[in-house]
Amino acid sequence: MFRHKPNKEESKSKSQKSTEEKEKSVKNVVEGKEEKVEEDKESTAIKISSTADDSLHELLEKNLKWSQIIYEQNRKINSKLVWSAVASWLRLLLILVPLVLAVFYLPPLLKNVFSQYGSLLGIVNPSVDSSALNSIFDNLPLDSSGLEKLKTLLGN
């Protein structure tokens, strides 16, 4: 009915014994697992090294093949870029060369054409009459100094 209360000494000795037993059993289990792990490591190390060599060799071969493919693609792209640059320069030259030649050779040709066909076109002399300019200047809202400046700029 009543429970027996153990002495403090009895409880300490029992708890010490149980912890010592637990530590021993854990050590045994751990040592056993360590032995098994060491055996497993040795056997798997041999398996892993042989499979690792094969897989590493395969990976190197794949990497080499991909590198060659990428190199060929880069060569093709590079050649296309070079030809694209050459074509763009030729296109630019095709546009600019005629424009530059026109600036140098067209004014004398146009002067000859206007002198020959001016009477047919109704262009007698391209110079402007000064009386017409004076009538235009009178209609502008400028003071006398502004009119003088404008006349000097136009050459009248």
pLDDT for 50-66, tens place per residue?
777 888 999 999 999 99
The answer to whether residue 119 is domain-embedded is no
Q: Which pLDDT does position 6 carry in this prediction?
A: 56
The answer to whether residue 129 is domain-embedded is no
Question: In the chain, which stretches have pLDDT less than 70?
Answer: 1-49, 119, 121-130, 155-156
Q: Would you state the structure tokens that stand for residue 72, as one six-digit string?
A: 């060929």
The answer to whether residue 152 is domain-embedded is no
Whole-number Å distance between alpha carbons of 118 and 47: 102
The answer to whether residue 103 is domain-embedded is yes
The answer to whether residue 82 is domain-embedded is yes
Q: Which pLDDT does position 60 carry in this prediction?
A: 94
The answer to whether residue 78 is domain-embedded is yes
pTM: 0.38
Q: Which pLDDT does position 62 carry in this prediction?
A: 96
The answer to whether residue 99 is domain-embedded is yes
Q: How many domains does the chain have?
A: 1
The answer to whether residue 128 is domain-embedded is no
Name the residue range of residue 23's domain: 12-108
H-type helices in the chain, by residue range? 8-121, 130-139, 144-154
* pLDDT one-digit tens code per residue, 69-97: 999 999 999 999 999 999 999 999 999 99
